[in-house]
Structure 1
């Protein structure tokens, strides 16, 4: 199983989560929310080859942590993965748009200067703006939209830009999201948990709960879960090889 967006460092017992990931032979991208969290988060899983740690600065706290951009630049060459980064246009965060834009532009430029990264992107109520900015930084790397919630027009633009998409169990609880997933090419989709933030029935999701997303995708694709798993592993290998 593959979890391309999990907040392992924010789980109640990160070391136990890492052990369970290893026991299940999963592939997991452990995203961070601040550059200052990088060292500690990386150390949690540095001995586990199936877990990679991404360097991030979450848009919801960009205005509070913009001073950490030099730290971001310090660590950028230590990983092939960046996330969670992006923009958030929700009512409570849109007032910080200027800071969010400055942070994202800096990050994308830094990614380009470092040879390009696989980038896990947050784009809640800001998909169009994120795509516009990506167009200005073509060398930044490979964008992977985490829990995409933009409109159909935004989705078409993202697909045309060769973006990827990570889909989780909570996302597949929405009829609108399912309709969006149906439109995305099968070979651009990977699974995610977004745990422990994402929940189902009030329970925080763990990386291994991506199995629920595999089942959901198998229904959308009209195939057995085992076949859906094969598609996802093929996609994963393609994404990693393209870096």
Structure 2
């Protein structure tokens, strides 16, 4: 994104995609370059980061995030030292965060321990950009960010944010951005929320391959459909929405 080998500027932004979970991992990376999709390829475990980084080393538009997914903390908390060892070489961090869904609530104390250490390590090093998971935990996620990651030490993008309007306002005050996907915009409640967020804090994502369209997993190039939907929600032309998202990405990665 900023430290890119880009020969032509991006046209689209997919700020949260699990590229390594596609069967044709390498082809997805090549597709991102061909379609000019600035793509943040998140990882769910720090052990996955070196191989992902290797595969994207020559990509103009794909960057790899170092992650420890909250849904895996019960089995992977012992990988936190690996995460901390790799962090100095990682500009982007994710997927990290908290998940209080029924399947993962038992690991919540461990999730909080991991998330706090991740945030403090990022603050100590500075200049990190994080993509953060917050299912049923928006207020707690914001508490941790407020306590452990000052705004001048890094930037947070709240991935697939579904908190309340009050929580969204608090996130804005804390300097957070929001990554918006097409599935969010299928819900009237979440369309209204997205319509109320500051336009200059929005980027787009697919969360592929977990999100599907017409029976197939979304790929980074499909983010153009989300841009079109976002334009409708915000009463913009598709071109204006596209330009705003690219400008937001530029500002976000200038940390």
- What is the TM-score normalised by the length of structure 1? 0.97
Would you say 1:231 and 2:255 are equivalent positions?
no
2:172 is matched with which residue: 133, 152, 159?
159
User: Out of 85, 91, 94, which is 1:83 matched to?
Assistant: 94
Report the count of equivalent residues: 242
The match for 2:253 is 240
Runs of 4 or more above 4 Å deviation: none
1:149 to 149, 152, 162: 162
Conservation of the 8 A alpha-carbon contact between 1:145 and 1:166: yes
Structure 1 residue matching 2:15: 3-state secondary structure: strand
Corresponding residue number in structure 2 for 1:19? 30
Distance 1:36 1:233 in 2: 31
Deviations 1:72-101 (A, max 9, x none): 011101121100000001111111101100
Q: Which runs of 5+ in 2 are unaligned?
A: 1-11
Q: Verify: 1:8 aligned to 2:1, yes or no.
A: no
SS at match of 1:2: strand
Q: Tell me if structure 1 keeps the 8 A contact 2:120–2:149.
A: no
1:138 CA displacement: 2.7
Match of 1:202 in 2: 215
Structure 1 residue ranges without an equivalent (≥5): none
Q: Which SS does the other structure have where 1:143 is aligned?
A: strand
* Cα deviation digits, residues 127-161 of structure 1 (max 9, x gap): 00000010111345111000001111211111111
Alignment of 1:57-206 (within 5 A): 57-139=68-150, 141-206=154-219
Instruction: Answer yes or no: is the 8 Å Cα contact 2:99–2:136 preserved in 1.
Output: yes
C-alpha separation in 2, matches of 1:27 and 1:226:
17
Q: Tell me what 1:53 maps to.
A: 64
Q: TM-score, normalised by structure 2?
A: 0.92
Give the drift of 1:59: 0.3
Provide the C-alpha distance between the structure 1 equivalents of 2:41 and 2:149, rounded to a whole number of angstroms.
24
Could you tell me which residue of structure 1 aligns to residue 4 of structure 2? none
1:185-222 deviation per Cα after TM superposition (whole angstroms, max 9, x unaligned): 00000000000011234321111111111001110121
In the alignment, the residues of structure 2 paired with residue 179 and residue 221 of structure 1 have an alpha-carbon distance, to the nearest angstrom, of: 10
SS at match of 1:54: strand
Give 1:49 deviation, angstroms.
2.8
Contact map agreement 2:16 2:179 (CA 8 A) in 1: yes
Contact 1:54 1:79 in 2 (8 A): yes
* Distance in 2 (alpha carbons) for counterparts of 1:138 and 1:60: 22
